[in-house]
Amino acid sequence: MGITINPSHPTALTREQQATLNNMRAVLGRQLRPTSKTDPAMVAELIIQNAVLMRENGLATELLDYLQRAREKLDAEKPLHTRLSVEIAVTLDVIDGRQDEASELFQNVLTWYQTHPNALDEARARSAYGRFLINRSQLQVALTQFQQALDLLKDQPFEAAIVRGEMGRVLVGQGKFGEAVPQFEKAYTVLRGDDRQVRLMNDFAAALVEVGESDRAEKLLIEGIEIATQQGLWLLRANLRRQIAYIYHLRAEKSSDAASAQPYLDEAVRLLNQAVAEMLPLQNTLDLAVVYHDLGRIEAQQRHFNEAEAHLRLSIELFQRLGNLRNEAVAEITLGTLVVLKNGDIAAGNEHLHRALQLANKVGDQFTLHQAAETLSRLHQLQVTRAKAQSQEIRRQVIDQLSFSRARLSEYSLSEAALALEHMITELEAARG
Amino acid sequence: MSHIFVSYSRKNLTFVTQLVTDLQQADLPVWFDQISIQPGENWEAAIEKGLKEAIAVAVVVSPDSMASEYVRKEINFAQESDQLILPVLYRPAQLFLNLQTIQWVDLSSEAVYAANLQKLIAVLRREPGLLENDAVPTGEAVEVDDTRKLSPTILSNYLHIGAMIAGQTKSQQLWRRLAGSIGTASQMNVGGQALALSRLTPPTLSRLVSLLGATPSIQILHLICRTENDMCFVEDDQGRETPLQIDELARILQNSSVKLLVVQGQLSVAGIQKLMQQSLVQAVITTTTAASDVMSKLFEEHFYAALAAGKAVQVAYQTALNTLGPDDKDHFKLTAKHDGVMLDYPPIEKRPIQPIIDPGLPPMRNVPINPDFVGQGQPLLELSEKLSSDDTRQVMIYGLGGMGKSWLASEFVARYGWRFSDGIVWIQVSEQTRAEDIFNQLRLLLGLPLNSALTHLENTLRQRRVLIVLDQANEWGNSTELTELAQFVSRLEPLGGTRVMLTAWGPTVGLAEISGSRELTLAEMLPVEAEELVRQLIIDYDVAGEFKSELVMRQLIEKTAYTPWFIKEGVRLTRLEGLEVALEDLDALSADTMLLFERYVGMQHQKLAEPTQVFLRQLQGLPDSFDRRLVQAIDSQSREHLRQLIQHQLLRREDKLYTIPPTVRVYLRQRYPLSEAEQDTIDQQVIQYWLGGAK
């Protein structure tokens, strides 16, 4: 399932938002003129206030223009000038090919604060820089920035809690769940009542599950669902439900036998179905596709093969639509395994795994590529075992299929898996006599 | 102070007192004459004041209130004043026609009172300005689009209803009624079997065959269509009525899982029996054409709620009948194959909680809903044909103000939107619209990242079927943006199926020259279509008494120059001031169609009080739509001004957004332009509001 760092769900502007944006454009068009007599600080604050909305809606280039023009009208020694610079750096980060400029600007801003101390503004700038570093996968350096921001926010518990939430997410991303939990705990208490509290519940719960506190995680998620319902955060609510399903799935996996696992799996499926129903009216195809995949995977474990296949195929269709090859590859692996379990149809299973290999190779996802290769090897092993007891003609056909797969695996530099297939071919040829 | 005004008949005082108490206990401010009028206060003046200051008007519906002139006047005032109107059903009654399109809350029985009261409270809490701390908007429309593909497995866990609405002038309205009933029915049965409702679009024979055949979860088919001699009239691909014989329907149902057929129309006993013999159908409910919307809604809600609770069809039918008045029961008839017809229900552990409503249309972004399209059948067909042609990139709908360009475009989307399976994006063009806004809407529609290259979007569109609607393209002020968009449109591959449809007064330079462009010019309506429109409006505005002869009707049409907007305005004025005054008003306008609108705007502008005229001038500072709270920052009396402007048709309201019609904007720009200093003052007030310093 994985944890998304810094999740962002862009949505299309509603008619109301578009109208506000257009009215704001007209106002800014007039009030950013050199001759305008309106207080430039007021105009700058307006742009900063709308910066997130514009960036999230793909209007970074336009925003950059406003920010730069507003900055020109301000005294370079004023804190607001530097705040605009931070916004400019954040905006440059999302414009293709301008990340180096963003990095340089962040450095300049942080240097400026050395001679112009302002704890709150500097902490915010460091947090923004931390997020910039996360996007560059520099998690450790990002953590340092967040820690420095925290040091500056000793008298600002609320702001500090927001930073702790960010730190928790980075630590989860690094697999340091034990360290993430206390950060989330502190943030969680302070942010009570704010929508940011419920937004960090998903990651907090994931960390708790990983450190073995799944009961506490479940309680937290149930509380989160209630808050999300009150605040109208529908997508988040559905994702929190998905997270509870994940806990039930883990409980099933830890059960001693199939019979005791069954109620846990049933509950997981019920929760995921509910998450699907909640996600259907929302505009986030990616989350829906992920839930369909999870649902299919658990239903396959329950041996509800028809349901599982239907959900996995839907998941693949949605990933295809999104052009999300990485997840499509993962879903193909699951489907490949399923069709073998369902019908014993190894040829169909192989087809899905070859597709997974192709997709994973295309996006350079080594982890998924190896996973697909491993599953393919296992299917071929099953095929070889069966073929040994069958006619020469069938053995010949299986050898052909193995040779084909071996060639593909070699092509993708999966030499270990290719070698395993080589051994299988030898084994089957020997059996042919 | 802003409050909820309760409009009711004294004969229902016990119920109303209970309702008011419950609303007050939910901390909602209520104006109720029994408690809000002080001793010695002038009764009528106090009511008028209470009504004027209201944010919302709760109308307690009963046969008594629907016969009350006071209630009628209060509703009309609320409508003119742009207040939120909420019908609260106490006893079933024939609603005033201007209430029929509004979703109501059913508090008519103890069984539903508590649950639906909460819904009413939730709706009222969402209304801006009613509570000091405006609540976060909730609302959880469980609607899906076809890119979200419902899994057959998921649907098998629902009580699944397939609905087809064919050949109806107000099909969107009927659909919303049915979808609303299913939503209410689900809420009446919390914890019961969840319902799923799928609309079969287009309402054609082939769709009926393919969907029923491929969707074994559909156990109930709900048909709303014209019936005659055991024939249901469905549509062909062009929207023309085509008969479906009962034998053919039986054959289709043979290959489906439908067990229950609900027809809003009549079939003979012999026909029904034939259906039941030749298919799995075990029960048929028919409805007479005289059944009103109110009755049908009430019946549907209780019938489907009882089915969701696991009752036999006969029991559900009886439950629904019990909610109707004694004279209304005869409109609904059940014929069953045997006693105790039961539908199939999935095991309890698999039953989901929420209902699913699938409108059968592709994903749509910002498409306005057009509830009352009448007439213009010919232009609609022409538009449909032009857009279908293989070499068409775009169709430009031209016409003077008031000719119904946007109206036609939105009706096209409602009826033929299914052809654009990858979705529809509707852009309300303002002078500030940017090409990037349109590209981003398209990227999100197609699931592409927002920062993906334009070429990537273009390549994707070549393989997809998307409709891009640019409404009021003449408003576009920025030629650079227009050029960018024109280049984009010219690179679209017509064979790919993506099309642009734009509405404008006349050719938009840049866009009009693109190859593969076709024009559709809307002129005045044909007499027969204009008459059809007037007849519908007479019903809507409940003014049949004023139009006692065909001659009067024709007189009105002639004075409106066969222009749809003016025809509507003429009937609206008749409702407000009587036919004689309406005809005089229309008479004062020029017979010159070109100037009709301009003169009308001038005439209405003159009727405004000076402060409202000043307020209207100031609105020029906002090039796009705005909400009530934003203009409060410009003028603290904005509420009254907005009411006046809407009453004089100088402002339009859709949901919570107010829009200055383009003709009004042009009129103001030419005659009352804002000075730079005035503009700056407005900008500063608006910025302050946006930054949180609104008054």
My answer on whether omega of the bond before B202 falls inside 30° of 0, hence cis, is yes
Q: What is the pLDDT of residues B271-298, one digit of tens each?
A: 999 999 999 999 999 998 888 877 888 8
Q: Average of pLDDT values for A105-126?
A: 95
B626 touches chain A (CB under 8 A): yes
Burial of B543-555, coded b for 16+ CB within 10 Å and e otherwise, reads beebbeeeeebeb
pLDDT of residue A324: 81
Q: What is the CATH number of domain B146-358?
A: 3.40.50
A-B CB pairs within 8 A amount to 167
pLDDT of residue B372: 61
Query: Is residue B39 predicted with pLDDT exceeding 70?
Result: no
DSSP for B546-584 reads T--SHHHHHHHHHHTTT-HHHHHHHHHHHHHH-HHHHHH
Least confident of A17-31, A139-153, B495-509: B495-509
pLDDT of residue B592: 62
**Do B3-126 and B146-358 agree at the fold level?**
yes
Mean confidence (pLDDT) of chain B: 84
Provide the token pair at B564. 């749809």
Which residues on neighbouring strands pair with residue B444, listed in sequence order? none
Closest CA to B679 of A348, A31, A18: A31
Q: What is the CATH number of domain B603-693?
A: 1.10.10
pLDDT of residue A193: 75
Looking at beta carbons, which residues of chain B come within 8 Å of A278?
354
Long-range contacts of B667-671, Cβ-Cβ distance < 8 Å, separation of 24 or more: B667/B598, B667/B601, B667/B602, B667/B605, B668/B616, B668/B617, B668/B620, B669/B620
Contact B371, B173 (CB under 8 A): yes
Helix or strand or coil: residue B401?
coil
- Calculate Rg over the CA atoms of chain A: 26
Q: Which residues contact A173 (CB under 8 A, 6 or more apart)?
A: A3, A5, A134, A139
B193 touches chain A (CB under 8 A): no
A19 touches chain B (CB under 8 A): yes
Angle, alpha carbons A17-A20-A22 (nearest 5°)? 110
Angle, alpha carbons A23-A27-A29 (nearest 5°)? 110
pLDDT of residue B68: 85
Provide the token pair at A111. 């240097």
Q: Average of pLDDT values for B69-95?
A: 80
Closest CA to B225 of B269, B263, B274, B180: B263
Q: Average of pLDDT values for B516-525?
A: 90
Distance CA A353, CA A374 (A): 10
Q: Which of A14, A38, A274 faces B683 most closely, judged by CB atoms?
A: A38
- Closest alpha carbon within chain A to B656: A16
Closest CA to B410 of B382, B380, B388: B380
Q: Which residues contact B281 (CB under 8 A, 6 or more apart)?
A: B253, B258, B259, B260, B261, B275, B337
Q: What is the pLDDT of residues B368-387, one digit of tens each?
A: 866 566 677 788 889 989 99
The question of ipTM being above 0.90 is answered as no
Contact B94, B66 (CB under 8 A): yes
pLDDT of residue A9: 47
**pLDDT more than 70, % of chain A:** 96
**pLDDT more than 90, % of chain A:** 65
Any idea which fold B364-521 has?
Rossmann fold (3.40.50)
Q: Work out the pLDDT band at B134, boundaries 50, 70, 90.
A: very low
Pick B116 or B16 by higher pLDDT.
B16
Q: Does 3.40.640.10 match the CATH number of domain B3-126?
A: no
Q: Which residues contact B372 (CB under 8 A, 6 or more apart)?
A: B101, B170, B173, B536, B540
Looking at beta carbons, which residues of chain A come within 8 Å of B619?
none
pLDDT of residue B569: 86
Q: Which of A10, A27, A230 faces B686 most closely, judged by CB atoms?
A: A27
Q: Average of pLDDT values for A4-15?
A: 50
Burial of A80-95, coded b for 16+ CB within 10 Å and e otherwise, reads bbbbbbbbbbbbbbbb
CB contact under 8 A, A273 and B148: no
* Cα-to-chain-centroid distance, residue A71: 34
Least confident of A192-201, B57-66, B146-155, B574-583: B146-155
Domain residue spans in chain B? 3-126, 146-358, 364-521, 527-588, 603-693
Looking at beta carbons, which residues of chain B come within 8 Å of A307?
151, 153
Angle, alpha carbons B78-B81-B84 (nearest 5°)? 55
A52 touches chain B (CB under 8 A): no
Distance CA B174, CA B168 (A): 8
Distance CA B307, CA B313 (A): 7
pLDDT of residue B147: 47
**pLDDT more than 90, % of chain B:** 32
Q: Average of pLDDT values for B458-487?
A: 88
Q: If phi over 0 gives left and psi between -120 and 50 gives alpha, with beta otherwise, what is residue A26? A: alpha
CB contact under 8 A, B154 and A321: no
Q: Is the pTM of this model over 0.80?
A: no
pLDDT of residue A5: 22
Q: Max Cα separation, chain B?
A: 80
Query: Is residue B114 predicted with pLDDT exceeding 80?
Result: no
Q: What is the pLDDT of residues A11-24, one digit of tens each?
A: 567 888 899 999 99
Length of chain A: 433
Burial of B126-154, coded b for 16+ CB within 10 Å and e otherwise, reads bbbebbeeeeeeeeeebebbbbbbbbbbb
Please say whether the dihedral angle defined by the alpha carbons of residues B9, B12, B14 and B20, taken in this order, is positive or negative.
negative
Distance CA A313, CA A292 (A): 9
Looking at beta carbons, which residues of chain A come within 8 Å of B624?
18-20, 22-23, 26
Pick B163 or B154 by higher pLDDT.
B163
How large is the angle between the packed helices A366-388 and A415-432, nearest 10 degrees? 10
Q: What is the pLDDT of residues B6-16, one digit of tens each?
A: 999 888 888 88
Provide the token pair at A81. 């000038």
Q: Work out the pLDDT band at B541, boundaries 50, 70, 90.
A: confident
pLDDT of residue B103: 65
Mean confidence (pLDDT) of chain A: 90
Query: Is residue B260 predicted with pLDDT exceeding 90?
Result: yes
